[in-house]
Structure 1
Amino acid sequence: MNIVETLTDPSNILTAFIALVVFATIITLASPVMRNSGLEGRLKSVANRREELRRRSRQSLAARGGGGGPATLRHQEKDLYKTVVERLQLSKLLEDPKVVENLAQAGFRGPGPVTTFYFFRFVMPFVFAAVVAFYLTVVNGFGMLPIQKICACVAFLAAGYYAPNVYITNVAQKRRESIVAAFPDALDLLLICVESGMSIEAAIQKVGSEVGAQSMELAEELSLLTAELSYLPDRRMAYEGLARRNNHPGVKSVATAMIQAERYGTPLGAALRVMAKENRDLRLSAAEKKAAALPAQLTVPMILFFLPVLFVMILGPAIMRVQDIFGKH
């Protein structure tokens, strides 16, 4: 009971909350110094994708020539996630037709992330429900009736089911913002490379190596685009894959312009110049939209944090003066 009283003591909860806020502040301030770009790891994953496309191309050539090929393109890894998903057939039970596309937008490719996603979609509801049930029955029930506790467990059960989707959506959103922020500059570099006489593959590879310091996600996408242009049977598939993985109007318009330039032979330099200007305008409009929404977002913090301080500073001396006057009388 002493442990329960300690955990439910309001002063201890407030102390733990303040400690958590201070820890999060320190981590936020120190993260830029300790952050590792991870560009080498991302480019290594792109190299693995390039090797996979190369194996697929060789298998296609072997199949056309009547030769035999390997039964699979990937090394099958037997781990806990894969075993659970295969035994329970979670890919059919929890089937999501857009899971591969959503994972690709978040930067997760291959069969491994899909297996991990289905595993956590199956496990997280039970974890959420178990944690809530333990807290409400052992730590603090808040005076809730049994039916209310059951409803809370069911609510968190549903929240656990959607938690992996929320996580993937947030990761994809942050990745898209990083790509869009550096995309107009990358188009300018690509335009310079193309107009200097470089081929589109060499230009994309060069821009990908240069833009990595600004956005490693964009560098990864451009390196992957170079690999797909080299090994996919149709170059249109590579550009469509770029648009599908990023799911942004600016990137989709650039992919469409490149497809039209490939099909009809239109000048690629002029199209890139127009696309760079449009993406720069999109970036500027997004910044203006955030700036316009800033006053409304600052209203609540100002009410909670600034106004009490102003009242204390303005009314404090007056209150002290009034107390002194009444104290003399």
Structure 2
Amino acid sequence: MERINQWMAWLDEQVADPVMIELGFATLMGLAIFALLVALVLLIIGLSDPLRRRLRGLEAHAEVAAAGHGSGTSGGIKASPSVAGGLDHWLGPMGEKLVPSEEEKQHKLAQRLRRAGKRSPGAVNVFYGARLALTVLPALVVMAVLVPLTRLPISTALLVMMAVAIVGYVLPSFWLDQQFNKRTRLLRRGLPDALDLLVVCTEAGLGLAAGIQRVSHELAVSHPELSDELNLFGLQTRAGMDHRSALRDLEERTGVEDIRGLVTTLLQSMRFGTSIAATLRIYASELRDKRTQEAEEKAAKVSTKMLFPLIFCVFPSFFVVALGPPLLGAMEALARAGQ
């Protein structure tokens, strides 16, 4: 604790010294300019490398071909815009040098991107490139525009610049979490309809892969996210992947608890040789009961959540209207009695 106090006292002395403030500001400006120059150099190197340009062109052609093949087999499903589009040519080369060398960190980030619906091969590079750009560029804009126009003190300008840089660094991860939560909600919303259609297809005599392909075709308009995942499952099985591996990959790339339960149920049905149609019907009934219980739970919480707006918004105005005139009359009576 004593060291912390000494360090804080030393920091206060340095902040009070105008020469140290100017020196710190010049140092931070130099670091920011150096980071911007490094980012520009990485961008130029990435754009001017003919091998990388050739690889990006091949990836783009492969994605277009896969999207066209998927739309032709799933009844007009349109491919979602790829992360490796225009942003990849600018942010990818900058972020390529920032990707951590540990495979575990790369795998975790790639898994988060897949679960958010970003399956491009260069999505990891684009993520780190966006993080670098949002960390450096807004801070430079604040330094170059806000400080001269507002004439803020040097210490305040440094704090604002650091806050902007921290927000820019955290913003890509926050956006990725929001995309994952949004996609999870959309997948959970479309799963009951998909299960009902899949039960009908399997009871009509279709196999699991054919039934899932048919369901992906039917859900292309109402639930495009789930339709895209099911269509990818059909493409994997037609490419030679066995059903168990394709189901495991579906569970891994979505990260939705309900889909994980569905995959586990189907794998157990395949293992023990039970009827897939009966298994799907039972799971659909259980999922419907689970959704009903969740709705009842949320409805039961409404009365408790309504207490806060009632206490802080409704009751004060009610007390003013109900008790205001009597209080004014009592105050007037006390004033007269005092006179």
Q: Indicate which of 163, 188, 198 corresponds to 1:180.
A: 188
Give the secondary-structure state (helix, strand or coil) at the position aligned to 2:216.
helix
Q: Does 1:286 align with 2:304?
A: no
Quickly say closer, same or farther: Cα 1:240–1:139, change in 2 above 3 A. Answer: farther
Unaligned runs of 5+ in 2: 1-62, 71-83, 335-339
Normalising to structure 1: TM-score of the pair? 0.64
Q: Please report how far the alpha carbon of residue 170 of structure 1 lies from its aligned counterpart in structure 2 after TM superposition.
A: 1.0
What amino acid does structure 1 have at the position aligned with 2:66?
N
Q: Please report how far the alpha carbon of residue 189 of structure 1 lies from its aligned counterpart in structure 2 after TM superposition.
A: 1.6
Q: Please report how far the alpha carbon of residue 164 of structure 1 lies from its aligned counterpart in structure 2 after TM superposition.
A: 0.9
- 1:159 counterpart residue number: 167
Give the secondary-structure state (helix, strand or coil) at the position aligned to 1:92.
coil
Q: Please report how far the alpha carbon of residue 145 of structure 1 lies from its aligned counterpart in structure 2 after TM superposition.
A: 8.1
Q: Please report how far the alpha carbon of residue 103 of structure 1 lies from its aligned counterpart in structure 2 after TM superposition.
A: 1.3
Query: In 2, Cα distance between the equivalents of 1:209 and 1:135?
Result: 53
Q: Indicate which of 77, 100, 105 corresponds to 2:115.
A: 105
Query: In 2, Cα distance between the equivalents of 1:287 and 1:51?
Result: 40
Q: Indicate which of 206, 209, 229 corresponds to 1:198.
A: 206
Query: In 2, Cα distance between the equivalents of 1:272 and 1:168?
Result: 32
* Pairing of 1:1-329 with structure 2 (within 5 A): 48=66, 51=69, 79-86=89-96, 89-92=97-100, 96-127=106-137, 129-130=139-140, 138-139=149-150, 146=155, 150-151=158-159, 153-315=161-323
Q: Please report how far the alpha carbon of residue 127 of structure 1 lies from its aligned counterpart in structure 2 after TM superposition.
A: 4.1
Q: Please report how far the alpha carbon of residue 93 of structure 1 lies from its aligned counterpart in structure 2 after TM superposition.
A: 6.8
Q: Please report how far the alpha carbon of residue 324 of structure 1 lies from its aligned counterpart in structure 2 after TM superposition.
A: 10
Contact 2:93 2:125 in 1 (8 A): no
Q: Please report how far the alpha carbon of residue 270 of structure 1 lies from its aligned counterpart in structure 2 after TM superposition.
A: 2.1
What amino acid does structure 2 have at the position aligned with 1:84?
M
Query: In 2, Cα distance between the equivalents of 1:281 and 1:123?
Result: 47
Task: Name the count of aligned residue pairs.
Answer: 258
What amino acid does structure 1 have at the position aligned with 2:107?
P
What amino acid does structure 1 have at the position aligned with 2:185?
E
Give the secondary-structure state (helix, strand or coil) at the position aligned to 1:97.
helix
Normalising to structure 2: TM-score of the pair? 0.62
Query: In 2, Cα distance between the equivalents of 1:295 and 1:139?
Result: 49
Give the secondary-structure state (helix, strand or coil) at the position aligned to 1:242.
helix
Contact 1:128 1:157 in 2 (8 A): yes
Quickly say closer, same or farther: Cα 1:199–1:159, change in 2 above 3 A. Answer: same
Quickly say closer, same or farther: Cα 1:149–1:299, change in 2 above 3 A. Answer: farther
Q: Please report how far the alpha carbon of residue 159 of structure 1 lies from its aligned counterpart in structure 2 after TM superposition.
A: 3.3
Unaligned runs of 5+ in 1: 1-44, 53-74
Query: In 1, Cα distance between the equivalents of 2:85 and 2:332?
Result: 82
Contact 1:46 1:223 in 2 (8 A): no
Query: In 2, Cα distance between the equivalents of 1:98 and 1:191?
Result: 34
Contact 1:46 1:224 in 2 (8 A): no
| Percentage of pairs with the same residue | 29
